[in-house]
Amino acid sequence: MSRHFLSILDLDREQAHALVRRAHEMKRTDCRTTLLSGKTVAMIFEKASTRTRVSFEVGIRHLGGSPLLMTPAESQLGRNEPLRDTARVLSRFCAGMVVRTFGQEKLDELSEWGSVPVVNALTDSYHPCQVMSDMLTMYENTPEFEGLKVAWVGDGNNMAHSFINAAVHFPFELALAVPEGFDPDPEILEKARSLGANITVTRDPREACRGAHYINTDVWASMGQEEEQKAREKAFAGFQVNDDLMALADPQAKFMHCLPAHRGEEVSESVLEGPQSIIFDQAENRLHMQKAILEWVFSE
């Protein structure tokens, strides 16, 4: 039976921490292996991508494999062929599937009907590879997660959901500041709390950021939400991460963003380019965490 990585909760706590340590070691040694030698990994991307696509392509090659990019324009994806058929066909050709799509149910169907590992490279529900690489970035700065406060400012979106899941396995306090009407999925939130995660939700970004060691945000309108841009700008007024919010955080606090960023919207230029920003460490760490995740799913 294949091992999949569809959300952070596919890991147990020991596995989550081990992945962070392994990714850190892979980064330190500029790791190359032959784990995927002679194997092709299908990269099914229904959404455009820079960091996710490049980090997975390079990571697959670092492990000795060959990436095969598939988009709707170049295949039967999104047309009349059922996903269950795609899953079974690709399983005959490829060693695994890395999927960036819209609905989480598409990954569920691919993993159910296929016979090879499936990795979630982003859905509307979760962005687990990004947040696991963020755990690596935090580990590099503060190896002990105990006692940390992590603030999330903005939309209760797929990034927020994956931070909520991460709080189950990593012992930090998560404070989410979200506008009314943009709360995270209550089922995801309650499940994490039931598993012991320390999570608060507030309408006040100042409250979330006060004393925080890490402050995170994301764009106000993600891919597929462009028509909501103006309405979201109005709803998110006051939720920009700027110098005033950063001043409320711990003096050594770091700013994080999964990128791409809209300067002057969810984050000010001064914060994004300032000394507390670690956004490009985050971006680099996508490569090292993707390699650790691929090693985990293919070592089963």
Say whether 158 counts as a known binding-site residue. yes
Q: What does the pLDDT read at residue 201?
A: 98
Say whether 252 counts as a known binding-site residue. no
Q: What does the pLDDT read at residue 80?
A: 76
Cβ–Cβ under 8 Å, residues 143 and 41: no
Say whether 206 counts as a known binding-site residue. no
Cβ–Cβ under 8 Å, residues 297 and 3: yes
Active-site pick, 258, 282, 288, 290? 258
Q: How far apart are CA 32 and CA 289, in angstroms?
A: 13
Q: What does the pLDDT read at residue 225?
A: 63
Active-site pick, 10, 218, 282, 290? 218
Strand order in the sheet with 118-122: 66-70, 40-45, 96-100, 118-122
Q: What does the pLDDT read at residue 7?
A: 98
Say whether 129 counts as a known binding-site residue. yes
Q: Which residues pair with 39 in a beta bridge?
A: none
Q: What does the pLDDT read at residue 224?
A: 60
pLDDT along the chain (300 residues), means of 10: 95 98 98 98 94 98 97 75 93 98 96 98 98 98 98 98 98 98 98 98 98 97 70 93 98 98 96 98 98 95
Q: What does the pLDDT read at residue 178?
A: 98
Say whether 218 counts as a known binding-site residue. yes
Q: What does the pLDDT read at residue 253?
A: 98
Active-site pick, 100, 169, 232, 288? 100
Q: What is the pTM of this model?
A: 0.96
Q: What does the pLDDT read at residue 230?
A: 83
Domains of the chain (ranges; CATH) run: 8-127+283-298 (3.40.50.1370), 130-278 (3.40.50.1370)
Whether 92 is a known active-site residue: answer no
Whether 13 is a known active-site residue: answer no
Say whether 31 counts as a known binding-site residue. no
Q: Strand ranges (DSSP E) for 133-193?
A: 149-153, 173-177
Whether 12 is a known active-site residue: answer no
Whether 252 is a known active-site residue: answer no
